């Protein structure tokens, strides 16, 4: 099947068979019940578990049976997911709205490696070679910063994919003891309170500012970078070019700003997939060349699994199919992500951009309005904090929300008692969601039969973290492929930017002509002294 001629999930025979199976097995008074399923199948935990590149996934506590998984896997095959996947690895322009290849996977291939899918195309080989060259330049610079005794602080200024990915990786690996470079800080918000709160902690002569923006035109990043540069000069800083480095595809704009170096990457690297590219400079400074290469190696291991493993045992594919099952058959509107590791506390925010910006769309590649729901709302918080915030609703609320627990077997600290209790709490929550409880009064009744997934890592290292994040990327791609979407554009963020450009001037001069009454009244109120 040619990847360009793939049918949408609702256009293949498996879709109708899947809907029929759902009606027969998962609706009505005798609907599927997890407790009965475990009682009927002593091997359910084994039968519904997968392991890929060091990520163990227990799917057994989900509202699904073997027949549904078979039908879902057949659906993926009929939709041409394999051809679409292979086209991505081969360097084909699968980002059709922008007429680009999708190249983040090529940035994590070893320089001498063949494409993860054995297509043998010259395009893929060229992408790998170019990425390896740019990566070497970035890593050389990172090592020079790490070795510079005059640099004590590094500030990454970016937003969206230029912030969330690097911030998550640095926080995660700092918590697990892998960060040993200069102090790393992240600034993203247009709200000046974030930058203003950081600047008093810095000294101009010992600070390096990284300005990360693919276009070098992102309003938040340019404003924060400009304010940082103004502060640098006002504090007597010398040699702006030495203390400001740009990560961008727009070298001319970076040079005009005054950055002394611009580390580039190709247009095929999308923002939310960019931490593997030069955008990952802050990561490389934090964990060094060897650590960054291990991060890439972990991601590449998941790439190989995704490219080479049959759909039936392909972890990103099976997770995407489970997402489709819940969204389009069960009609569930959200998914909770609960990482039980302090280092992964920003994982839900990272996944919000990855999943909702990629697949939060209402029309397919052909411009047709979708007849089904697309991306669920992704949300969550680190465990066990979330247990004392929203787990009440997960257990007893009126909406069923699948919960994804992310666990790490080995702790990086030596405090006695903590980690065993943390893991026990996560396992207990998953068990309680499934089993429920018959209460002596209605308020103490837990309905149970509420789904969850356990994702387990052995430890939190650069390699294992790379594997986990690549798994989420491929899961997102697969789900978009099934829905007939382009997961690599984001036109939905543009309209608000355009309106903001107009309103900035109106806030200054007070002209509200032509605005809706609400916005006009708010501008008038905001201008009052």
How do residues 327-355 score in pLDDT, each as one tens digit?
A: 999 999 999 999 999 999 999 999 999 99
Give the per-residue pLDDT at 4.
77
> Please, is 289 exposed, middle or buried when counting C-beta atoms within 10 Å of its C-beta (0-12, 13-18, 19+)?
middle
- Inter-CA distances, 382 with 24, 179, 339, 379, Å: 37, 21, 5, 11
497 is catalytic: yes
Reply yes or no on whether the pLDDT at 119 is more than 50.
Answer: no
* Cβ neighbours around 206 below 10 Å, total: 15
Is residue 305's pLDDT more than 70? yes
Order across the sheet with 334-339: list the strands: 49-52, 55-58, 452-457, 403-408, 334-339, 377-380
pLDDT at 1 (0 to 100) = 66
Place of tokens 């605005």: 515
According to DSSP, residue 376 is labeled P
Question: According to the model, what pLDDT value does residue 353 have?
Answer: 98
The single residue of 388, 413, 445, 501 carrying the catalytic annotation is 388
pLDDT tens track for 127-155: 999 999 999 999 999 999 999 999 999 99
273: which 2 tokens?
Answer: 């997939």
CB of 292 closer than 8 Å to CB of 284:
yes
> What are the beta bridge partners of residue 49?
58
Q: Among 489, 492, 488, 513, which Cα is nearest to 503's?
A: 513
Tell me the pLDDT tens digit for each residue of 471-481. 999 999 999 99
Taking only the tens place, the pLDDT of each residue in 401-435 is 999 999 999 999 999 999 999 999 999 999 999 99
Identified catalytic residue from 293, 357, 404, 473: 357
pLDDT of residue 121: 60
Q: What is the pLDDT of residue 113?
A: 52
**178-202 pLDDT, tens digit each:** 999 999 999 999 999 999 999 999 9
- Per-residue pLDDT tens for 47-56? 999 999 999 9
Query: Which of the four pLDDT bands, split at 50, 70 and 90, describes residue 3?
Result: confident
Model confidence pLDDT, tens digit, residues 154-170: 999 999 999 999 999 99
- Residues 407, 353, 497: CA angle, nearest 5 degrees: 160
Q: Tell me the mean pLDDT in the region 270-287.
A: 98
Supply 297's token pair.
């190696």
* Residue from 410, 140, 80 nearest 261 by CA: 140
pLDDT of 469 over the 90 cut? yes
Q: Looking at residues 457-486, what average pLDDT do you find?
A: 98
Phi-psi region of 58 (alpha: psi -120 to 50; beta: other; left: phi over 0): beta
* 3-class SS letters over 190-245: CCHHHHHHHHHHCCHHHEEEEEECCCCCCHHHHHHHHHHHHHHHHCCCCCHHHHEE
Spatial distance between the Cα atoms of 105 and 138, rounded to a whole number of angstroms:
17
Beta pairing class for 183-187 and 207-212: unpaired
Confidence grade of residue 303 (pLDDT, cut at 50, 70, 90): very high
Element (H, E) at 153: strand 153-157
Query: What is the pLDDT, as a whole number, of residue 183?
Result: 98
Residue 304 and residue 460 in contact, taking contact as beta carbons nearer than 8 Å:
no
Residue 120 has pLDDT above 60, yes or no: no
pLDDT at position 30 is: 83
The per-residue pLDDT for range 487-519, each reduced to its tens digit, is 999 999 999 999 999 999 999 999 999 999 999
Residue 319 CA, distance from chain mean position: 14
Angstrom CA distances, 114 to 85, 90, 125, 469, 516, stand at 15, 10, 7, 22, 56
> Which of 263, 261, 209, 255 lies closest to 232, judged by CA?
209
3-class DSSP state for residue 103?
coil
Indicate which residue of 233, 445, 497, 501 is catalytic.
497
Sequence-distant (6+) residues with CB within 8 A of 74 are: 14, 17
List C-alpha distances in Å: 85 to 82, 97, 309, 427, 475: 5, 17, 12, 34, 11
């Amino acid at each position: 099947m040619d990847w360009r001629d793939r049918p949408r999930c609702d256009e293949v025979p498996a879709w109708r068979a899947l809907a029929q199976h759902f009606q027969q097995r998962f609706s009505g008074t005798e609907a599927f019940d997890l407790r009965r399923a475990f009682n009927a199948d002593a091997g359910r935990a084994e039968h519904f578990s997968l392991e890929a590149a060091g990520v163990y996934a227990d799917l057994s506590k989900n509202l699904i049976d073997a027949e549904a998984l078979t039908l879902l896997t057949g659906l993926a095959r009929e939709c041409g997911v394999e051809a679409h996947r292979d086209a991505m690895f081969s360097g084909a322009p699968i980002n059709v709205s922008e007429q680009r290849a999708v190249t983040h996977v090529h940035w994590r291939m070893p320089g001498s490696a063949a494409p993860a899918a054995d297509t043998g195309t010259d395009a893929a080989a060229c992408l790998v070679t170019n990425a390896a060259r740019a990566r070497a330049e970035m890593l050389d610079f990172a090592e020079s910063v790490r070795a510079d005794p005059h640099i004590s602080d590094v500030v990454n200024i970016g937003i969206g994919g230029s912030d969330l990915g690097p911030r998550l990786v640095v926080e995660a690996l700092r918590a697990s003891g892998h960060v040993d470079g200069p102090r790393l800080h992240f600034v993203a918000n247009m709200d000046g309170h974030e930058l203003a709160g950081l600047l008093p902690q810095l000294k101009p002569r010992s600070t390096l500012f990284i300005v990360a923006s693919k276009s070098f035109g992102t309003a938040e990043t340019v404003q924060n970078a400009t304010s940082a540069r103004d502060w640098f000069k006002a504090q007597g800083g010398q040699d702006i070019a030495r203390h400001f480095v740009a990560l961008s595809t727009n070298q001319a704009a970076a040079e005009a700003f005054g950055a002394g170096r611009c580390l580039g990457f190709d247009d095929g690297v999308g923002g939310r997939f960019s931490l593997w590219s030069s955008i990952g400079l802050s990561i490389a400074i934090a964990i060094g060349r060897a650590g960054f290469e291990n991060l890439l190696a972990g991601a590449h291991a998941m790439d190989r699994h995704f490219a080479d493993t049959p759909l039936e045992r392909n972890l990103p594919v099976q997770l995407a199919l489970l997402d489709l099952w819940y969204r389009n058959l069960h009609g569930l509107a959200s998914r909770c992500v609960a990482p039980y590791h302090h280092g992964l506390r920003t994982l839900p925010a990272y996944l919000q951009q990855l999943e909702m910006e990629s697949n939060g769309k209402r029309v397919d590649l052909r411009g047709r309005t979708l007849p089904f729901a697309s991306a669920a709302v992704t949300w969550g918080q680190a465990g066990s904090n979330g247990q004392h915030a929203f787990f009440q609703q997960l257990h007893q609320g009126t909406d069923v929300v699948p919960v994804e627990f992310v666990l790490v077997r080995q702790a990086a600290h030596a405090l006695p008692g903590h980690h065993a209790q943390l893991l026990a709490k996560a396992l207990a929550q998953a068990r309680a969601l499934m089993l429920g409880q018959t209460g002596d009064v209605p308020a103490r009744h837990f309905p149970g039969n509420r789904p969850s997934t356990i994702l387990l890592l052995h430890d939190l290292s650069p390699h294992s973290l790379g594997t986990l994040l690549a798994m989420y990327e491929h899961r997102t791609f697969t789900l978009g492929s099934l829905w007939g979407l382009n997961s690599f554009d984001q036109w939905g963020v543009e309209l608000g930017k355009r309106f903001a450009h107009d309103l900035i001037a109106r806030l200054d001069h007070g002209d509200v002509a032509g605005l809706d009454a609400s916005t006009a009244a708010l501008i008038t109120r905001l201008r009052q002294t």
